[in-house]
Amino acid sequence: MSNVLTPEASGTAPAGDTRTLGKVRPHQTQNEALVFEKSSPGKKAYRLAQLDVPAVDPGALLGDAVRREPGELPELSEIEIIRHFTRLSTWNYAIDLGMYPLGSCTMKYNPRVNELVARIEGLAEAHPYRPDFLAQGQLDVVDLLQKCLIEITGMDAITMQPAAGAHGEFTGILLTRAWHQSQGDPRRTVIIPDSAHGTNPATAAICGYSVENLKSNAEGGIDLEALARQVNDQTAALMLTNPSTIGVFESQIHKIAEILHANGALLYMDGANMNALCGKTRPGDFGVDVMHLNLHKTFSTPHGGGGPGCGPVACKAFLEPFLPIPVLVKDENGDKHWNYDRPQSVGRVRAFFGNFGMFVRALAYILANGPDGLRQTTEDAVLNANYIRKKLEDVYDLPYNTPSMHEVVFSDRRQLKNGVRTGDIAKRLIDYGFHPYTVSFPLIVHGALMIEPTESESREELDLFVAAMRQIAREVEENPQLVLDAPHSTRVSRLDETTAARKPILRYRKPA
Amino acid sequence: MSNVLTPEASGTAPAGDTRTLGKVRPHQTQNEALVFEKSSPGKKAYRLAQLDVPAVDPGALLGDAVRREPGELPELSEIEIIRHFTRLSTWNYAIDLGMYPLGSCTMKYNPRVNELVARIEGLAEAHPYRPDFLAQGQLDVVDLLQKCLIEITGMDAITMQPAAGAHGEFTGILLTRAWHQSQGDPRRTVIIPDSAHGTNPATAAICGYSVENLKSNAEGGIDLEALARQVNDQTAALMLTNPSTIGVFESQIHKIAEILHANGALLYMDGANMNALCGKTRPGDFGVDVMHLNLHKTFSTPHGGGGPGCGPVACKAFLEPFLPIPVLVKDENGDKHWNYDRPQSVGRVRAFFGNFGMFVRALAYILANGPDGLRQTTEDAVLNANYIRKKLEDVYDLPYNTPSMHEVVFSDRRQLKNGVRTGDIAKRLIDYGFHPYTVSFPLIVHGALMIEPTESESREELDLFVAAMRQIAREVEENPQLVLDAPHSTRVSRLDETTAARKPILRYRKPA
Amino acid sequence: MRYLPKSDAERAAMLREIGASSIDDLFAVIPEEYRLARDLDIPRQMGESEIVEWFRSAAAKYTVRHTSFLGAGVYRHYRPCIIDSLVQRGEFLTSYTPYQAEITQGTLQAIFEFQTMIAELTGMDVANASMYDGSTGAAEAVMMAVRVTGRDGVLVARTVHPEYREVMHTYAQHREAETGDVMREVGYDPDSGRIDLAALEAAVTDQTACVLVQSPNFFGIIEDIPAIADIAHKKGALLVVSIAEAISLGIVRPPVEADIVSMEAQSFGVALCYGGPYCGVIAAKEKYVRQMPGRLVGQTTDRNGYRGFVLTLSTREQHIRREKATSNICTNQALVALMATIFLTVYGKEGIRELAEHNLAKSAYTAQVLAAGPGARLRFTGAPRFHEFVLHTDEDPAAWHHRLHEEKIVGGLELNRWYPELDHATLWCTTEIVPREKIDIAAKQLAAVSVEA
Amino acid sequence: MRYLPKSDAERAAMLREIGASSIDDLFAVIPEEYRLARDLDIPRQMGESEIVEWFRSAAAKYTVRHTSFLGAGVYRHYRPCIIDSLVQRGEFLTSYTPYQAEITQGTLQAIFEFQTMIAELTGMDVANASMYDGSTGAAEAVMMAVRVTGRDGVLVARTVHPEYREVMHTYAQHREAETGDVMREVGYDPDSGRIDLAALEAAVTDQTACVLVQSPNFFGIIEDIPAIADIAHKKGALLVVSIAEAISLGIVRPPVEADIVSMEAQSFGVALCYGGPYCGVIAAKEKYVRQMPGRLVGQTTDRNGYRGFVLTLSTREQHIRREKATSNICTNQALVALMATIFLTVYGKEGIRELAEHNLAKSAYTAQVLAAGPGARLRFTGAPRFHEFVLHTDEDPAAWHHRLHEEKIVGGLELNRWYPELDHATLWCTTEIVPREKIDIAAKQLAAVSVEA
Ligand SMILES: Cc1ncc(COP(=O)(O)O)c(C=O)c1O
Ligand SMILES: Cc1ncc(COP(=O)(O)O)c(C=O)c1O
């Protein structure tokens, strides 16, 4: 019984345990066909309320516009639907099941109280066109969240409209463009470090800028000289991720800002990594002009298998006139209103006011933490990343030995000697019961293993992760094929992505 | 791709599929230690609201009564708790995952809307001692549900107080006793068929009756002659399950009632199997004097891993004066009240009014069905059982070939030849992705396989079940050891129950 | 019907395969005259939206968000929201009693954790998997004591919840019928509100199976368990302690001298829900475990040596022992026990104490401000209490209840309903969720007694 | 902090193992002057009960259960409750974009089902995994058309949702900056409320990348898609159809002539939630799939031959293509798409039609009783509509809005805010959830116009 107390033995592996690998053991999961394959005509899962007005004849009302061929939607009963999606769900890994160290994604705990408050009827059922005087409660939420985020970032103004990080980048770069134009000095280029996330260049491009690549220096950071050489009167902005995608804080950040400002260019900060800074330092204080936040990263709103997110954009006062319409204002009686009369605005980036449901969740998270909680959260996030770094740096190659913040990036250099790549190590990690880290990003690190544990992992879970990673390193030496064939413990393994892309099957079609 | 359309291939087993057995495939599940083993001092998952009254000194207020040694409760953070119970849950089988044909347990679909309405604040937060004038909404629920159940059973009165079936039996037998006493004719014995559920004799015993066993006839039903011989002036009642535990309707039920009534004895019906009768026939019409219902069987309230349940007792008018207090009454203005002034009452069987939360769920179920839905439900339940019977009777021994209602009982006679018992077949069924049927009950069938599919199973799921049962029968012939060692696909297999009972470890103790 | 996974075509096909010409064939065994030829007379089939609307309006008949000072065996504490998100997982909600251990380890391990927590809190060695509620649990505890001692007499304090006592009487009936008045009640000391020890001493005999007290008792007073235990044990009787407010164990000394503890765990994260479902549980000294009612989960190992859990000692139970079983209980309150387990995991070792302290403080404040009013005074000040107290008002409670209702406040419970001698006495409870401002409003209204009164 | 799984002792131990003397060592890289030496000025840490209370009272500021006749791109339909119980399963709620197919098949298969259902409903060949919402989806659809055609001009009907048009303008800005006014609007026919076909014909040129219309349009009118398609296609321009009310597809002919469809799926079981999160989606003809923005899930097999699903055609996306990507979208609205998938599974082939019919009937009745009032008349009666209509009242809407608010009813939306020419015109929507009695009350109040008006 004593062994049950060592973390490795959670679930109490007996001596000579053969079936427990790391912290998982095989069990059965139900198979489940496509919902269309379970359909049969006449089954129903719905019943409408009795119609309390006269029925109408659609054909008569709609004429040619009436639908003659119904869409081939499935026909199932309620229990079959419950089983269908419950069974599917059991094929997913999730934060609720274990550590999810996807670098740059900040997969932290998603508190359940956030879900509860987001579903309070008065919030969940509010129509966006409800008159402002009936929406004071909703506006209180927006107002308090905006105040909190402005204080956290150290900026002067904010828009909550963007639906995700990339959308925030788009909005932020539009602000930059609008400001330059207002200065009668439209510019053509945006400088982006080669370590940047793909959304940065993609954003600059859809905003009509030509993207200039900035090569990282030997430490994976900004090369000040190179930057100074590159910035010119056509430079609209530098899009900088800080801490960088290798988890390193740009200690020269203020110099970077100076160089840009001296050339009339702006400093845009990709705030995806704010989880390393919250409560410890503020972008607004170190020279950032405009930035976005990811509420679905730093502020705990759930990823939901890919979204929804929320990417508010905070900026300095001089950019405020350009914010998307509408903006929240208070009148003399303290009543809150949406103001649409903003001649210099870049316009709207989304209908209505943004992903309000995510505002509610993020605010609930901030209230649950308070100043002390947010600081402690950041400290724990950084502590966890450095703990992993310390425990793995002797077996995995550390391309940059600059100090890590909230995430650590290794490379597969050593494992490559045995023909094993970061993607293979990732697949093998699945066998040990973990979601893999981010694979092959950032691009400046060849064969990157990008590990972000977040603050939500206990020491027990971290130790299990470290043990798994070390064991895999050993396997790479002793039996690389084992790793190359991984995962071995999952329902499906190594799906054929090439064929999927060459002959795309993007929908189900009823067999003739 | 065509194979994906055959039910067996749900989840699309490829040709030569080795890992899919029946409808399951191995996947990984997370291990998880006991919550106490994950505890470490200082971790917290709670934060109380700020105390808005003066703090007090417990020692000063309570003196010797103050607790000096705290209980050794675990200390964890919220995410660890979410993971702990989420991981544990993945080790469970459930209706939401697949067919759960536990005979006599009526494991039907538990509609989610039931859970929703049971949590409506005005219902969930109502204190039982709230004055009646503030509880009219709650009383409306009780009143309508009582009316529906009285109509469904064909009885005259009802009490909702009993917390489960066995508790209902207790209440019903107390009514019997009270009535006999009121007739100045207290009696000593209760007759119970050997096919009865264990709670029947246990109940009769705790009510102070001596239990007389009634041997079933060749068809597994009531032997009228034997009954007539056995009933005498000391017989208080016969406790009859109808349909019987072998799923057979007592077609002589009216004669049975006559024999009892002729001798001044009452007919108690165990209503556990009402799912075979709802909307098709009413116990009150065929001579039953008193019966209980299991809302957690027939009326879809969830089993929750063993409870809570609800076991209302319905009776004929002559037993009404003896019902537990309080009973629901309406005053002249139509206001509803609890009436405690019932001199002949047997007293209370539970504090307050019963498992109100289950009333809400059962009523929601009845409203969702209506008269047509309930009838169709019963018909489908009986159809499913007979379908299984038909598809398996050539490979499993059918001890009684009387027509089946909602469940069918086979025996392991044929498999026994190869040393395989019903319990082994049950364990092997797990490998095929099903929860086993009820094992070794009723006792009148040696080695019983008691199968109750309920109406909630689609033909697809039934066919998969039949295929699994037939395959197992084949395995018993060809490779009995495979069955004797089952299950092979689960996290744990064949736990040592003997040691568990011989040296009971009923709690965790911190290692010194 | 939307819950039924069949089309009419599938039904017809299945009937054909069975060889039945119509569904009626399958019901032919039911004698013609008993077959229901009509629709049941119940409401028509409703859509989901109509069902939700029906219950919404029923619920709305009671203006929600009243502030309530009701306790008396049912206590409103804040319920951490993760309880509900976890117990609504289908894997917990829709599984049955864990008969097949291989596919119910989740439920089994959780119950094992529950048993451990209850034992830790009550100071007993072992606890079972749950009973229906505190009242039936008390009755079963008494029957257990009768089995253990082979004696018949039962002494119950009048300070035990009146409805618990009624239930115990109901369960004792048949034994009464045989051996006469087996259950007797022992009065209370008028100024401490505790059981009258002298009367108890006098009542205990060598035919007494057990003494049953509740602590904190119905008046909110903490009984002197050690003293009561002495009296009972001297005569070889067992001491059964009933606990209706489980939160008290965060700060009140557990009844370690008891032989059996019967507890209502509703306070551990369970909604009031107009009286149920709640969660009874019986804990006891190890030596009595084989006389315990209800299910027990035990730890063991599987054939590969993995730790696992199983239902055990089932030879006590009805499905094996039938009429000789220790109880007829089968279905219990498993999911509610799971709620309690999660609640206790959330609060943990420190939190349960802190929570109990807040309750103590809230109630102390309430007692002080209410008793300050004209013609109001506390009863039973002679002994320590937890978060309930008895208030006497010269004014008829009916009068001030009316004033409180105007303020959407439900005041204390009138006790003369069960204790005629306690006229004008009301039982008040203040948990951590009652805001001070509401307490002050209640005090103001109580003090606003018309001069005539 | 209760979300953090560490005790201070564990933190200290970990720091020791790292070889750090204190946590500050790990933040030493941040220049001194930028380290925050104070607490953030935000509200203090709150308990869960306080958080819930805070939002409850915020929510209560709007008296819930108002009846609303607002639509205009956001539609309140009944949301079957199983949607919420399923999407709250942690396995769906707390997993990331399905990059690792082996452990995200649940999400992947569900998205594949979503893509299929959207294609079936819209009459397109393929659909993507979601966009942020209907407005950004429309803007992305336009950019897609520009890529496909290599042309620059875009014609947008004025009958498209005004805020959608604003968003498209924002996205077109930089191209405007370069190539001048690339996006132009086409007016509507004053009695049909449909796009002015003559004006459209005149406006389309061989530089037109696409024509974008909404149907049912912002006035609730169903556009003549075949006619519009002809005009567009004649000049080699693509037709993009934007759909804001997805339920209409249950009964309205799908825009099969379109090349791209951009839809807002909020009506499929998604809460209004004051404007978001909702769920945009882009569907198109097969041949354009490699120009599509956003994620796509495709079917494939694993190395053992099992069917499985993967994210595919990702060479279109930013993480591979960077500045050459078809879009910068990364995070999308996956969980909302799952809600829509469940909604569509619940209603299915028959239900979606029946539901749409009920909406049609409710709205027809509302239009009839409102228009019956003095000084009230329907606009745009010359073409078929779904469940929204434009009502003209001689009385200033401000006046009757006030009367309706008294009855806890929110009436139609004033259109002059976007359409100055439509003074005194309001846009009304009635879905299946608005009870007749409320419709009648609204009609009564509207009719209760003071004589002077
Ligand atoms: C560094 C960085 N920037 C931008 C983004 C894009 O954010 P979103 O996915 O919310 O659009 C991400 C998300 O992964 C990121 O990691
Ligand atoms: C035939 C029969 N009678 C009585 C019972 C006891 O009902 P409960 O478990 O609700 O006490 C059962 C439950 O399994 C049963 O099947």
* Choice from D331, D332, D333, D335 to test ligand 1 binding pocket (greatest atom count within 8 A of CB): D331
| Cβ pair C5, A79 in contact under 8 A | yes
CA A266 centroid distance within chain: 25
Angle between helices B459-478 and B422-431 (to 10 degrees): 120
Relative to beta strand B210-214, strand B189-193 is parallel
The distance of D328 to chain A (nearest Cα, Å) reads 5
Sign of the CA dihedral running B365, B369, B370, B375: negative
Q: Which ligand is nearest to the CA of A295?
A: 1
Q: Would you state the pLDDT for residue B3?
A: 30
List, for residues D94-106, the tens digit of each pLDDT value. Answer: 999 999 999 999 9
Q: Would you state the pLDDT for residue A11?
A: 47
Q: Would you state the pLDDT for residue D277?
A: 98
Nearest chain B residue to D6, by CA: B43
CA C376 centroid distance within chain: 31
- Helix, strand, or coil (residue D342): helix
List, for residues C88-127, the tens digit of each pLDDT value. Answer: 999 999 999 999 999 999 999 999 999 999 999 999 999 9
Q: Would you state the pLDDT for residue A460?
A: 96
Rounded distance between C-alpha atoms, residue B264 and residue B250, angstroms: 21
The burial of C289, by beta-carbon neighbours within 10 Å (0-12 exposed, 13-18 middle, 19 or more buried), is given as: middle
Residues within a 6 A CB radius of ligand 1: A 104-105, 164-166, 197, 199, 241, 245, 270, 272, 294, 309, 311; D 330-331
pLDDT at A271 > cutoff 90: yes
Average pLDDT over residues C56-82: 92
Sign of the CA dihedral running D67, B124, D335, A510: negative
Q: What is the DSSP string of C1-48?
A: -TT----HHHHHHHHHHHT-SSGGGGGTTS-GGGB--S--SSPPP--H
Determine which helix (DSSP H) or strand (DSSP E) holds C288, and give its type and residue range.
Answer: none
Q: Would you state the pLDDT for residue D103?
A: 98
Tokens 């299984």 correspond to B388
Residues forming beta bridges with residue A330, ordered by sequence position: A336
**B240 touches ligand 2 (CB under 6 Å):** no
Average pLDDT over residues A183-209: 95
Over pLDDT 90: what percentage of chain A?
Answer: 95
Q: Would you state the pLDDT for residue A16?
A: 79
pLDDT at D182 > cutoff 90: no
Q: Would you state the pLDDT for residue D320?
A: 82
Average pLDDT over residues D149-168: 97
The CA-CA-CA angle for residues A155, A156, A159, to 5°, reads 90
**B197 touches ligand 2 (CB under 6 Å):** yes
pLDDT-based confidence at residue D58 (cuts at 50, 70, 90): very high
Q: Chains with ≥3 Cβ pairs under 8 A against B?
A: A, C, D
Average pLDDT over residues C192-203: 98
| Cβ pair C434, C69 in contact under 8 A | yes
The whole-chain average pLDDT of chain D stands at 95
List, for residues A60-76, the tens digit of each pLDDT value. Answer: 999 999 999 999 999 99
Which residue type occupies D24?
D
Average pLDDT over residues A108-122: 97
Q: Would you state the pLDDT for residue C63?
A: 65
Closest Cβ–Cβ partner in A1, A12, A27 for B29: A27
Cα distances (Å, whole numbers) of residue B25 to A53, A235, C403? 51, 57, 65
Question: Which pair of tokens denotes residue A171?
Answer: 């909005």
Contact A42 C5 (CB under 8 A): no
Rounded distance between C-alpha atoms, residue A27 and residue B431, angstroms: 10
Residue nearest to atom 16 of ligand 1 (CA): A104
| Cβ pair A259, A229 in contact under 8 A | no
Q: Would you state the pLDDT for residue A298?
A: 98
Q: Would you state the pLDDT for residue C318?
A: 83
Which residue type occupies C312?
T
Q: Is the pTM of this model over 0.95?
A: yes
Residues forming beta bridges with residue D427, ordered by sequence position: D390, D413
Distance B150 CA to ligand 2 centre (A): 20
Q: CB within 8 A of C152, min separation 6: which ones?
A: C146, C175, C179, C182, C207, C209
- A12 vs C contacts (CB less than 8 Å): 306-307
Rounded distance between C-alpha atoms, residue A168 and residue A165, angstroms: 5
Average pLDDT over residues D122-142: 98
| Cβ pair C281, B160 in contact under 8 A | no
CA A346 centroid distance within chain: 25
| Cβ pair D152, D142 in contact under 8 A | no
pLDDT-based confidence at residue C451 (cuts at 50, 70, 90): low
Closest Cβ–Cβ partner in D49, D78, D85 for C88: D85
List, for residues D202-249, the tens digit of each pLDDT value. Answer: 999 999 999 999 999 999 999 999 999 999 999 999 999 999 999 999
Sign of the CA dihedral running D49, D50, D51, D57: positive
The whole-chain average pLDDT of chain A stands at 95
- Helix, strand, or coil (residue D352): helix
Q: C14-31 as b/e, with b when 16 or more CB fall inside 10 Å?
A: bbeebebeebeebbeebb
Nearest residue to A236 via CA among A293, A172, A282: A172
Average pLDDT over residues A412-437: 98
| Cβ pair C114, C337 in contact under 8 A | yes
Residue contacts between B and D (CB atoms, under 8 Å): 69
Q: Would you state the pLDDT for residue A20?
A: 86
Phi/psi of residue A403, nearest 5 degrees: -60, 140
Rounded distance between C-alpha atoms, residue A443 and residue A200, angstroms: 13
Q: Where are the alpha helices (DSSP H) in A394-478?
A: 413-416, 422-431, 459-478
List, for residues C282-337, the tens digit of each pLDDT value. Answer: 999 999 999 999 999 999 999 999 999 999 998 888 888 888 888 999 999 999 99
Q: Which atom of ligand 1 is nearest to the CA of A104?
A: 16
Q: Which atom of ligand 2 is nearest to the CA of B296?
A: 10
Contact B24 A9 (CB under 8 A): no
Q: Identify the DSSP state of C195.
A: B
Rounded distance between C-alpha atoms, residue A331 and residue B476, angstroms: 81
The distance of B321 to chain A (nearest Cα, Å) reads 41
Q: Would you state the pLDDT for residue A10?
A: 43
List, for residues A315-370, the tens digit of each pLDDT value. Answer: 999 999 999 999 999 999 999 999 999 999 999 999 999 999 999 999 999 999 99
Contact D78 C49 (CB under 8 A): yes
Q: Which ligand is nearest to the CA of A296?
A: 1
C144 backbone φψ class: left, alpha, beta (φ>0; ψ -120 to 50) = alpha
Nearest residue to B366 via CA among B100, B141, B172: B141
Q: Would you state the pLDDT for residue A6?
A: 35
Question: Which pair of tokens denotes residue D453?
Answer: 């008006």
List, for residues A18-59, the tens digit of each pLDDT value. Answer: 888 889 999 999 999 999 999 999 999 999 999 999 999 999
Nearest residue to B29 via CA among C105, A335, D366: C105
Cα distances (Å, whole numbers) of residue D33 to A281, B233, B512, C273, D195? 9, 98, 51, 57, 60
Within a 10 A sphere around the Cβ of C150, how many other Cβ atoms? 7
| Cβ pair B73, C348 in contact under 8 A | yes
List, for residues C259-290, the tens digit of each pLDDT value. Answer: 999 999 999 999 999 999 999 999 999 999 99
Q: Would you state the pLDDT for residue D162?
A: 98
Rounded distance between C-alpha atoms, residue A24 and residue A430, angstroms: 10
Rounded distance between C-alpha atoms, residue A412 and residue A436, angstroms: 14
Q: CB within 8 A of C45, min separation 6: which ones?
A: A47, B367, B368, B369, B370, B371, B372, B373, C1
pLDDT-based confidence at residue C452 (cuts at 50, 70, 90): low
Among A9-23, A470-484, B410-424, the least confident range: A9-23
Rounded distance between C-alpha atoms, residue B29 and residue B25, angstroms: 12
Per run of 10 residues, the mean pLDDT along chain B (length 512 residues) is 33 74 93 97 97 97 96 98 98 98 97 98 95 95 98 98 98 97 95 95 94 94 96 97 96 96 98 98 98 98 97 98 98 96 97 98 98 98 98 97 96 98 98 96 95 98 97 98 96 96 96 85
Closest Cβ–Cβ partner in B25, B30, B112 for A23: B30
Average pLDDT over residues C361-376: 97
Over pLDDT 70: what percentage of chain D?
Answer: 97
pLDDT at D378 > cutoff 90: yes
